[in-house]
Amino acid sequence: MAAASPQTTSAFELKGRMATLTVLRLQSNDARHVLVQLDERLAEAPGLFAGMPIVLATAAELEPSADMLAAVVAGLRERGLVPVAGMDLPADALADLGLGQMRNSDGERQAPERDGPESARSAQRPAAGGSRVITQPIRSGQQVYARGGDLVVTAPVSAGAELMADGHIHVYDTLRGRALAGVQGDTNARIFCRTLEAELIAVAGQYLLSEQMDARLRGSPAMAWLEGETLRVETI
C-alpha cells in the first residue's frame, strides 16, 4: 500500500484536557428507583441527554453493590447515555463494567480549563467562603467555577461560556452563556443578571433552556430561583 510511512507521521496525540462531565450521583441503592426517576428527567428534555458521557458517583453513606452498579450502567446505556467512569467506586466493579476510575479528593481537583488569568489568580486567593469576582469577559469555551461560594462577574459572559457556583451567580453585564448556581445542591442559590440572553440557567440541577424561558424576559435584568421543584425567572 502506498500509504504515508508510519514512522514519520504521528498517528495520535495524547492531550491532558479538562472537560465538563455530567456526574450522576446515586442517592439510592435501588437501581430500579434510580432509573424510574431518570426516565422522568429524560422525558423533560428529550434529546438533550442523548450520547452524553456520564460519570457515576455515589453519596458518601451508600455502598452500592456490584450488581446494583451493573444494573444502573446497563440502564444508562439502554437510554442512550454513555457511562464513562466511576468516581470513588470499587475498582474491580468498575473494571468489570468497562468503566474508568476517577478520584474526587479535593486536593487533586484542578482549575477548569481555559480559566482566564484573572480567574486563575483569584483561585489562588479565594475570597471569603470561596466566592470569586471576575472582571474580564468570559469567552466561549471558558468555564468558571466558584467552589464553595458565590460567583460575581462584572463583564459579559459569551454564548458558549459556562458559569458554575456552589452559591449564587451575579452577572453585572450580559449573560449569553450558561449559568449553573447551587451546583452542589443548594436550592436557595439564585442567579442574577443585568441582561438575560442565557442559553441555559440552572439552580441545584433544575434547568431551563433559552427556548423554555419567557421570551419577554430576553434582554431584561432578571433573577432566577427555585420555588419547590420549579425554576422561576422574573425581571428585576
Partner 1 sequence: MARIVVVTSGKGGVGKTTTSAAFAAGLAQAGHRTVVIDFDVGLRNLDLIMGCERRVVYDFVNVINGEANLNQALIRDKRVDGLEILPASQTRDKDALTFEGVEAVLTQLAETHDYIVCDSPAGIERGAHLAMYFADDALVVTNPEVSSVRDSDRVLGLLASKTRRAEQGEPPVSEHLVVTRYAPSRVGKGEMLSVEDIREILSIDLLGVIPESTAVLNASNAGVPVILEDKTDAGQAYADVVARYLGEQREHRFLDEKKGLFGRLFKG
Q: Residues in the site for partner 1, rule: CB under 8 A? A: 9-10, 114-117, 120-121, 136-142, 155-156, 158-161, 176
* 208 φ, ψ (degrees, to nearest 5): -130, 135
177 is written with which cell numbers? 452563556
Nearer to partner 1, 130 or 137 (CB): 137
Nearer to partner 1, 15 or 103 (CB): 15
173 is written with which cell numbers? 453585564
Shortest Å, Cβ 118 to partner 1:
8
Query: Which residues, at least 6 apart from 140, have a Cβ–Cβ distance to it below 8 Å?
Result: 158, 159, 160, 161, 177
Torsion sign (Cα): 91, 26, 105, 100: positive
Nearer to partner 1, 126 or 160 (CB): 160
Nearer to partner 1, 136 or 184 (CB): 136
Q: Which of 207, 168, 209 lies closest to 190 in space, CA to CA?
A: 168
220 is written with which cell numbers? 431584561
Shortest Å, Cβ 141 to partner 1:
5
Using CB atoms within 10 Å of the CB of residue 163, give its burial: 0 to 12 exposed, 13 to 18 middle, 19+ buried: buried
Shortest Å, Cβ 8 to partner 1:
8
Shortest Å, Cβ 173 to partner 1:
8
Shortest Å, Cβ 71 to partner 1:
41
Nearer to partner 1, 33 or 121 (CB): 121
85 is written with which cell numbers? 467512569
Contact 204, 179 (CB under 8 A): no
**18 by DSSP, 3-state: which?**
coil
Please work out, in degrees rounded to the nearest 5, the angle formed at the alpha carbon of residue 211 by the alpha carbons of 205 and 212.
50
Shortest Å, Cβ 199 to partner 1:
12
Nearer to partner 1, 153 or 231 (CB): 153
Distance of CA 135 to the CA centre of its chain: 22
